[in-house]
Copies of this chain bind each other. A is one copy, B any other.
Amino acid sequence: MNHLTEDILTNVITIRPDNSHKGTFGRAILFGGNKQYGGAIMMSAEACINSGAGLTTVITAEKNHAPLHARLPEAMVADFSDTELVADLVKSANVILIGPGLGLSVTVLSILKQLLKAQQENQWFIIDGSAITLFASHQLTLKYPEKVVFTPHQMEWQRLSGLEIADQTPENNLEKQKELGATIVLKSHRTEIYDGEQIWHNTVGDAAMATGGMGDTLAGMVAGFIAQFGGSSETIGAAVYLHSKIGDDLAAEHYVVLPTSISHEISRYMKKYATNERKES
């Protein structure tokens, strides 16, 4: 079992090349936020953009556009129902996050199915929250599982893997993860990442982070990191570690750490760990 430490940040977060533009740092699509849980996708967007994704579009219920823009004019928006536009956006993205605050409606299920079908070989998918529940309960399948990350908490992992929480041992989890083929970020007070070869064990995180929206923020960071640094266990591990590292540091002064307060720190932390040159791809 590998332990996530600060090394993962210096490995993954590279110095940006001088001759670059916003396209260099990826195009992220964030899919989520129904009429009840709109805040979730706003938090994902805040995390993704502050992580440095070049261009971020949030596809969410129309009612969420105004509050998202009031917080974050850097995001672009589209409505779920604008299917033609959505299809175009999805085509040009290199990372797509699906799930924060999406809910479990029939419409959402249909969107999820279409998205899974539309995955291209060069695109990473992150499947989070209710999209995991829908995926599990409808036995959906993946086109490129090696380019998919699931970010379940323990109950969602039970639905996805069939393993009761008590049975979620590293060995059992690894076996189930291999069946799925996708990377699993299993969230708990000490998050673990299963990537088909090894298990990455997070060493930081604090109970002050146990509040609604923390997972949405993590999912947005994973999207932002993949958009820039490419998909890999190391990239995902860096996002997981940094999310908890910032939370830990803020918990030194706060009884509860709000998810949005993590996003406000991401860019400063990344700067500190960016020591190596980025390899041009």
0 or 1 for each of A204-220: is its CB under 8 Å from B? (1 = yes): 00011011111000000
Q: How many copies does the complex hold?
A: 4
Contact B63 A211 (CB under 8 A): no
Of the candidates B25, B42, B69, B253, the one whose C-beta lies within 8 Å of that of A268 is: B253
- Chain B residues, CB < 8 A from A21: 153, 188-189, 210
**5 closest A-B pairs by CB:** A39-B73, A255-B270, A16-B207, A67-B69, A52-B256
**Which residues from B are CB-within-8-Å of A221?**
none
**Partner-contacting stretch, out of A75-83, A111-119, A128-136, A192-200:** A75-83
Q: List 25 A-B contacts (CB under 8 A).
A: A21-B153, A21-B210, A22-B211, A25-B256, A35-B65, A35-B77, A36-B77, A36-B85, A38-B77, A39-B69, A39-B76, A43-B73, A46-B73, A49-B211, A49-B212, A54-B210, A54-B211, A63-B65, A66-B70, A67-B69, A70-B71, A73-B213, A74-B258, A74-B260, A258-B267
- Asked whether any CB of chain B lies closer than 8 Å to the CB of A254, the reply is yes
Query: In the bound complex, do residue B153 and residue A189 qualify as a contact, i.e. CB atoms below 8 Å apart?
Result: no
